[in-house]
Structure 1
């Protein structure tokens, strides 16, 4: 995440990042645990080999900051630039739905939906 926006790091020149605020997966979690978004990915088994997971989590973080109450369709559209060949996208969508629900503070009304 660069200056609050999700970016494809392979498409950003170092000179473009100079002076920017950069957030990476390594800085997401507090020192004593995981970020709720990371927890949601674990709880929903939304990962396999781990290659794409950081990209999904950071893209989801940026997305949820702009759209805290997304529909399933909005989640799928926002994640379309990320590819995963090890797990199904439904688990990733469920994880993002769960994280959005938990961030809203309405966990009682946010039972895990079927996707």
Structure 2
């Protein structure tokens, strides 16, 4: 079974999940970690959902397109949260999330 139609989206979702996990972990090391709670939670949610999307696309699930459309909203929310913080890991995560949101919307045929 060919999954070429999802190849790019799968790759971007994996990159986004990695960026989110890295950001969440780095936030835990910040001196003001208590102020980073929402960022950490949003990062972890986004990472988990990105990996779920990868699984759905990998098996050509009938729900992959719908799920990716929803994931785009989650990625955008995560990007907005990370953009509020000046740390490099947050900025890199925001970039990865915005890229993933765009790729998911494109794959799902949803206009932003």
User: What TM-score does the superposition give when structure 1 sets the normalisation length?
Assistant: 0.28
Task: Identify, as 1 or 2, the structure richer in helix.
Answer: 2
Higher relative contact order (CA 8 A, sep 6+): 2
TM-score w.r.t. structure 2 length?
A: 0.29
